[in-house]
Amino acid sequence: MDLGEGLRKAIARLSGATIIDAKAIKEFTKELQKALISSDVDINLVLSFTKRIEDAALKEKLPQGITPKDYITNMVYEELVKMMGESYAPEIAPKRILLVGIYGSGKTTTAAKLAKFYQDRGLSVGLICCDVSRPAAFEQLETLAKQSNVSFFGRKEEKDVKKLVREGLNELKSRKVIICDSGGRNAMDAELAKELKLINDEFRPDEKMLVINADIGQVAGKQAAEFDSRIKLTGVIVTKLDGSGKGGGALSAVAASKTRITFIGTGEKLNALEPYDSKKFVGRLLGMPDLESLVLKVQEAVKSANIKEEEADISNLSFDTFYKQLKAMQNVGPMKSILGMMGMADVPKDVLDTGETKLKKYGSIISSMTKEERNSDRLVKEHSRIARIAKGSGTTEKDVRELISDFNRMKKFATMFKNNRDLKKNMSKFMPGM
């Protein structure tokens, strides 16, 4: 069970209580403790956190017009935000960024994600490979740089990190943002400390960020403190938060070490990196909708898929535009992440798996249609066409008919949306220009 699921279950049990008295509050805080400790949050942080919740719930007077459940949920939210650290708003300006970390933290992938982040915001970016100890580090970063469409510098056989930095800065001097990917080790040792000092002195970074894997839990705090004592970090990037049960432990430990969390990695794709916002993060844990982030991700996906404005218009839907929109949605992120941003984090796994499978299947079916069929859904009603499409896509006729049914429902919704001024007005608050 991950932290979010544990917290949501504890709150659900509180909601189901007929009377919220001292006994119910104590049982609730015990459930919170279980959820936090199982997510590897430091026990002292857990005890102080739950004591504040319990004291406030038992001693403070309930404000008028607020239910006990809503009042306590809000307290949990506020205290978690404090425990998870401050939010971060990156300055979109020219800078040099040094990334450090041990083996397995996801540092090289994060370098490419960070490069894409700044590139997408209008700044030219260059990557310098200064990892001279790990085999294939050069090839990995070079490949990722191409995928991110950013500049790359490295010398495969060069072991002198000062020389690499010097030549890299000269080669990439026209780039607004230069990111240096340094080497790692299994742990901080004298050799790594010496190498980082050489790079730091030559590179003169504006920001020095430690990359940490969320899987290490509360050990993240000790790691952040150790690296900070060597090169004085400006921030920490926590990766693999999408699948880690110890993510809460990692974030809270870094915050407790007085080191700032700057970005979080939420998936494998190059766009799965976002500035850390503790309020949004905690909100998602508790099952609160984050429509702003969802809309931004959808807009980025539409942009990267090169979907024209008229093709994004749901009131002008064809199988062709439906297919393009499906492909764009796959770039938004895993179904679990999308539903989480919609406040639907506890959808059963079998339903999630069914949704992911259906998306892939629909893509295969539509790609097996002719150009005329994609642009005129009236054609895809003949049995012979349905049979041919099913055979060509490796699916069944039932699957094709299911797609047609879902497509028709989408068209019906599009018509309702087009004619419902109040709905359009409310949606425009989140999607300007609709």
Task: Write the pLDDT tens digit of every residue in 75-106.
Answer: 888 889 889 888 999 999 999 999 999 988 89
Q: What is the pLDDT of residues 229-263, one digit of tens each?
A: 999 999 999 998 876 678 888 999 998 888 999 99
Whole-number pLDDT of residue 310:
53
In the chain the domains, ranked by start, together with CATH numbers, are: 3-83 (1.20.120.140), 95-285 (3.40.50.300), 291-428 (1.10.260.30)
**What is the per-residue pLDDT for 124?**
97
The whole-number pLDDT of residue 121 equals: 93
On the question of pLDDT at 111 being above 70, the answer is yes
pLDDT at 90: 95
Q: What is the pLDDT of residue 293?
A: 53
How far apart, in whole angstroms, are the C-alpha atoms of residue 367 and residue 334?
21
pLDDT score of 424 more than 60: no
Please give the mean pLDDT across all residues of the chain: 82
Is the pLDDT at 166 greater than 60? The verdict is yes
Helix then strand then coil, % of the chain, to nearest 5: 60, 10, 30
What is the per-residue pLDDT across 344-398, written as a single tens digit (0 to 9) for each? 455 555 545 556 677 788 888 988 999 888 887 778 888 889 999 999 999 999 9
With bands split at pLDDT 50, 70 and 90, how would you rate the model's confidence at 316?
low
Dist CA 222 CA 428 (whole Å): 45
Distance CA 365, CA 363 (A): 6
Distance of CA 157 to the CA centre of its chain: 35
45 close to 256: Cβ distance less than 8 angstroms = yes
Supply the pLDDT for residue 358: 76
Maximum average pLDDT range among 55-69, 373-387, 392-406: 392-406
pLDDT at 41 over 60: yes
Which pLDDT score, from 0 to 100, does residue 349 have? 54
Spacing of C-alpha 143 from chain mean position: 22
Residue 426: its pLDDT value, please? 47
What global pTM score does this model have? 0.70
Rounded to 10 degrees, what is the CA torsion of 206, 171, 269, 226?
-40
| Highest-pLDDT range among 43-57, 159-173, 324-338 | 159-173
